[in-house]
Amino acid sequence: MVDYDERTALIVTDIQNDFADPKGNLYVHGGERAAEAANREIERARAAHATIVYTQDWHPETTPHFAKDGGRWPVHCVHDSWGAAFHPDLLVAPDSEIVRKGTEGEDGY
């Protein structure tokens, strides 16, 4: 088990509806359980005053890695959409650090 303190960070990666909800466009089998597991670590990290950073796929509507635009991936995690939102069971404080990635057409990977 990881020991957290004020010198450590927990990075919570892409627990978003399109990955973690069975209705998501790029659902990962069992993904709905990711929020529960992450929440246990988030609570431990918060109690130890560790930094918590969340990442979020945040794609434009058109990007070369989507199949509809010539790529291989289904449309997923389009900015400001239900699919791009964090899973509703995930603990995310209003003042959380969030790193959005894949925001430009060419940086989808």
Output the pLDDT for position 7: 97
Output the pLDDT for position 80: 98
pLDDT at 2 over 60: yes
| 8-45 confidence digits (pLDDT tens) | 999 999 999 999 999 999 999 999 999 999 999 999 99
With bands split at pLDDT 50, 70 and 90, how would you rate the model's confidence at 94?
confident
With bands split at pLDDT 50, 70 and 90, how would you rate the model's confidence at 105?
confident
CA distance 15 to 5: 23
Report the share of the chain in percent with pLDDT over 70.
96
Residues 6+ positions from 7 with CB-CB distance below 8 Å: 50
Per CATH, the number for 9-101 is 3.40.50.850
- First-last CA distance in the chain: 30
Distances (CA, A) of 34 to 20, 46, 84, 86, 91: 7, 18, 15, 11, 11
pTM, two decimals, is 0.92
Output the pLDDT for position 109: 57
| Alpha-helix runs per DSSP H in 21-107 | 34-47
Output the pLDDT for position 81: 99
Output the pLDDT for position 108: 60
The residues spanned by each domain of the chain are 9-101
User: CB–CB of 18/57 below 8 Å?
Assistant: yes
